[in-house]
Amino acid sequence: MNTSKAEYGLLATTRYVPRLRLERSEVLAQHRWMAPGLRSLAKGQRSMASWDEDSVTMAVEAGRLLQQALPDAQVSELTFASTSFPFADRLNAGIVAAAMGLDASAVVRDVSSSARAACTELGAMLRNPKAGATQLLVAAEQRLARPASTQEMVLGDGAAGALLGTGAAIATLVASHSTHADLVDHFRQTGESYDYGWEERWVRDEGYMKIAVNTIRACLKEAQVSAEAVAHFVMPTPLARVNDAVAKRLGIAASGVVSSAHETVGDLGSAQPLAMLDTALRAASPGALILVTAFGSGCEALLLRRTEVPCPGNVPDNGRKETSYMKYLSFTGQIKLEWGMRAEMDNKTALTAAWRDHARAARFEGGCCTSCGTVQFPRTQLCVNPACRAQASQTPISLADRPARVLSHTSDYLGYTPNPPFQFGHIDFDGGGRVMMEFADTDPDELCVGLPLRMVYRVKDFDANRGFRRYFWKATPVRGVEQGVSHG
């Protein structure tokens, strides 16, 4: 039993990485004729979102992992950080909050415009604790990179999150320091798809080695702690070995530099500080000091102390190698393929109907009959149980977090989907409920009757004519650590 005293701090952290991992060597193979210099970056893999994933769906996955880690936490505030929101004028955090089933009274907001946005918000929350509030911070990125660019090799898709409040904290704030500096190492004008980056050596020497180093020194000075006392150093950087150089300049042991998972994931932008912090917390011993730094239009430095409380939850990682560079270009909309007439459809969304159907789509809301206990989807006025047929007897029930199994499955190579074949079938939910629905992240030969499933929140379809996208739930196989083996 955990007898640690209740204090304000980090209660849980997590990270989410899409299943697909694009082989960098396959990217190089397509660009070697004109960009042979990419060879030095062509090792390992980078995470790649599926066609139906974006920063919103990945943020939902990170948030749900935190809900599973601390199911009794009542989130009163949600902050969503990203530089790749799918909507410029719609509250993206509101979509996440609805999918997670947060109370309508929860305060939700988007923060953006910097790779350190999430770290800045984390610092603000830790410096200004709100009595009785449980705050959820999620960050997610799906950034585009121009084909044959360095960024295409370096960037990765993924999300991370942190839950803060008063309770059994796994880490508490020791000191912090923030610096604003309009040093433009890269930028993206509104309406543009790709970042424009400046010369790497200049960014390293003027940015990281001066602004970041000075910010970290100020943080350590405030805490009256020497650099040698830092056990884990979190510093995201898309530039190779810059975090090692900063650690050496400061006097932090090389063994304390936390891995950025570049070889398997890549740089997750605003989500990277939280993802690396999760790695550090799961490796840190009680009492260890963790220094979290994020650079971008200045620098944020947070010094945390690990407590004796174990890290709750686990971090699923069931990556699958992807060797099709053309698939990556198609998924990201950077190449237009001829899909035939079946793909020629107008997916206009009636926003009035979408609002009336909001609970069903956002939380996979079905109904449970109060007369006989039958669970059904969708919820209707009439119970589907032929032995009951009670009217107006159903109470709302969410199927989003219920385990399920495959009852039947079909792989359709004729119907249009951005990732053929189109896979769907009937699934049975534990405790009742049977639904025909789409499968996601599933190999054609993987489906079988009885296969365990979990629900994931994904893009259902796109309205390309109007720039709108609709979300709904899909079923995906339960794999590896998702079956309950903790990494904590």
pLDDT at 389: 95
Domain ranges of the chain: 7-331, 341-364+399-483
User: What phi and psi values does residue 99 have, to the nearest 5 degrees?
Assistant: -65, -30
Q: Both tokens of residue 106?
A: 């929860």
The pLDDT value recorded for residue 221 is: 97
Q: Say if residue 243 is exposed, middle or buried (CB neighbours under 10 Å; 0-12, 13-18, 19+).
A: buried
pLDDT digits (tens, 9 = 90+) for 337-394: 999 888 888 888 889 988 999 999 999 999 999 999 999 999 999 999 999 999 999 9
Euclidean distance between CA atoms 213 and 208, whole angstroms: 6
Integer Cα distance of 451 and 430 in angstroms: 13
Reading the block at residue 62, the tokens are: 């990170």
- Please tell me the predicted confidence (pLDDT) of residue 482: 54
* Residue whose tokens read 């893009």: 459
Question: What's residue 317's pLDDT?
Answer: 81
The pLDDT score that the predictor gives to residue 481 is 52
- Give pLDDT, residue 347: 83
For the stretch 237-291, pLDDT in tens is 999 899 999 999 999 999 999 999 999 999 999 999 999 999 999 999 999 999 9
Low-confidence ranges of the chain (pLDDT < 50): 1-2, 483-488
Q: For the domain bounded by 341-364+399-483, which CATH number is listed?
A: 2.40.50
Nearest in space to 303 (alpha carbons), one of 200, 444, 176: 176
- CB of 61 closer than 8 Å to CB of 47: no
- Name the CATH topology of 7-331: Peroxisomal Thiolase; Chain A, domain 1 (3.40.47)
